[in-house]
Amino acid sequence: MLVNRIKNSGLITFKLEELYPTEPIAVFDLKDYLFRELILREKDFREALKAHDWAQYDGRHLAVFCSADAIIPMWAYMLVVTYAEPHAIQVYQGSTERFLEFHFQEKINQLDINQYEDQRVIVKGCADHPIPPFAYAELTRRLRPVAKSIMFGEPCSTVPIYKKPK
């Protein structure tokens, strides 16, 4: 008779990919609104924002950034938010990668961490979505004070990360 030792081990597998946003992430690059990719002209920028199709961000997260090496006045980001916020689920100033870090930070902070008290936790390594390294570090920071042990990988092959002293 085969015995599933992994199932009976009491290990809890934490899948960070389950915290990944379920809605699409759109980007708004201010570079496209700069004169010669260097200067933001207020009048032209305001006109372009009025003409922009903001409904395309309905049901999406929106990352607002500038990929050009230009000095962008703070009010430009604020202005984009006034147009985008009624449509996007969430408007974030920064790249898609930075948005994901912000998103994971929020989700990890919302976890009921007490459910992992004195538990042996495996943080799953493989995922269908790109998980930022920040999320692994932040989850470890939150779990370390309560978990009995933290491991990385799959139940059949783990890397020990932390073990609570006896």
> Residue ranges of the domains in the chain?
7-21+114-163, 25-88
Cα 115–chain centre separation: 22
Q: For residue range 26-58, what is the model confidence (pLDDT) as tens digits?
A: 999 999 999 988 899 999 999 999 999 999 999
Distinct helix (H) and strand (E) counts, the chain: 4, 7
Largest CA distance in the chain: 76
How far is the C-alpha of 64 from the C-alpha of 54, rounded, in Å? 13
Question: pTM higher than 0.75, yes or no?
Answer: yes
Mean pLDDT, the chain, whole residue set: 91
Mean pLDDT across the stretch 139-158? 93
Give the model's confidence band at 4: pLDDT under 50 very low, under 70 low, under 90 confident, else very high: very low
**Cα(38)–Cα(145) distance, rounded to whole angstroms?**
48
In this predicted model, what pLDDT tens digit does every residue of 54-83 receive, in sequence order? 999 999 999 999 999 999 999 999 999 999
| 152 close to 159: Cβ distance less than 8 angstroms | yes
Tokens of 35: 């004169």
Please say whether the dihedral angle defined by the alpha carbons of residues 111, 112, 117 and 120, taken in this order, is positive or negative: negative
Length of the chain: 166
| Contact predicate 121/93, CB 8 Å | no
Written as one letter, the residue type at 152 is F
Neighbouring CB atoms inside 10 A of 92's CB total 20
